[in-house]
């Protein structure tokens, strides 16, 4: 397994829309393992392939306290089950060090393929529902900063660009 580089906002590659996975094979499962390793080490609770510059519709999530509930979503599709809106302070591995309140539907159903290529569906609410919606946004080229005011988004962009220049 290998730790992957996580792209950081405002990298334009984060805006690229991910393409459907054509086949689930050992190469793809190896990528999924690398994504989990990267996510856990970061540390985070979700990672979309787009964030590691792989533009395929793959998401890994584990919202457990002890990293014991890894979930894989290949070619995920989400359906809102409850119009009730939930506010949650979201952060992102691609927007390190920043958290903002985002409003999202409280309950969703997601249909996807698992790491073996088997179709499944599940309902989620709370943190898992937020995480699923957040990661699926990445697959569509959207970031949580798109839900906040332009002023806040530009302030975050400036701070991250400054930090990236210092590291370079």
User: Is residue 7 in some structural domain?
Assistant: no
Is 22 inside a domain boundary?
A: yes
Active site residues: 135
- For residue 120, what are its two tokens? 């499944």
The answer to whether position 5 is within a domain reads no
Give the per-residue pLDDT at 83. 82
In Å, how far from its chain's centre is CA 78? 14
Per-residue pLDDT of the chain (168 residues; tens, 9 = 90+): 679 999 999 999 999 999 999 999 999 999 999 999 999 999 999 999 999 999 999 999 999 999 999 999 999 999 999 888 999 999 999 999 999 999 999 999 999 999 999 999 999 999 999 999 999 999 999 999 999 999 999 999 999 999 999 987
Binding-site sequence positions for Fe cation: 92, 134, 138
Q: Is residue 59 part of a domain?
A: yes
Q: Is pTM beyond 0.75 here?
A: yes
Q: Which residues contact 58 (CB under 8 A, 6 or more apart)?
A: 18, 21, 28, 31, 32, 35, 48, 49, 72, 73, 74
Output the domain CATH number for residue 52: 3.90.45.10
Look at residue 1 and tell me if it is in a domain: no
Provide the domain count of the chain.
1
Q: Which domain holds residue 140?
A: 12-167
**Residue 100 counted as domain residue:** yes
Helix, strand, coil percentages in the chain from 3-state DSSP, rounded to 5: 35, 35, 30
């Amino acid at each position: 397994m290998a730790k992957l580089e996580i792209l950081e906002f405002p990298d334009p590659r984060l805006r690229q829309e991910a393409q459907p996975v054509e086949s689930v094979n050992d190469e793809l499962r190896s990528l999924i393992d690398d994504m989990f390793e990267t996510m856990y080490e970061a540390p985070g609770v979700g990672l979309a392939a787009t964030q590691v510059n792989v533009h395929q519709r793959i998401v890994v999530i584990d919202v457990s306290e002890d990293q014991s509930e890894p979930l894989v979503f290949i070619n995920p599709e989400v359906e809102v089950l409850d119009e009730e809106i939930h506010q949650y302070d979201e952060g992102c591995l691609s927007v390190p060090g920043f958290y903002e309140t985002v409003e999202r539907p409280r309950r969703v159903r997601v249909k996807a393929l698992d790491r073996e290529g088997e179709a499944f569906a599940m309902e989620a609410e709370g943190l898992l529902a937020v995480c699923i919606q957040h990661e699926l946004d990445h697959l569509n080229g959207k970031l949580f900063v798109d839900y906040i005011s332009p002023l806040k988004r530009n302030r975050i962009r400036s701070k991250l660009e400054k930090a990236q220049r210092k590291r370079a």
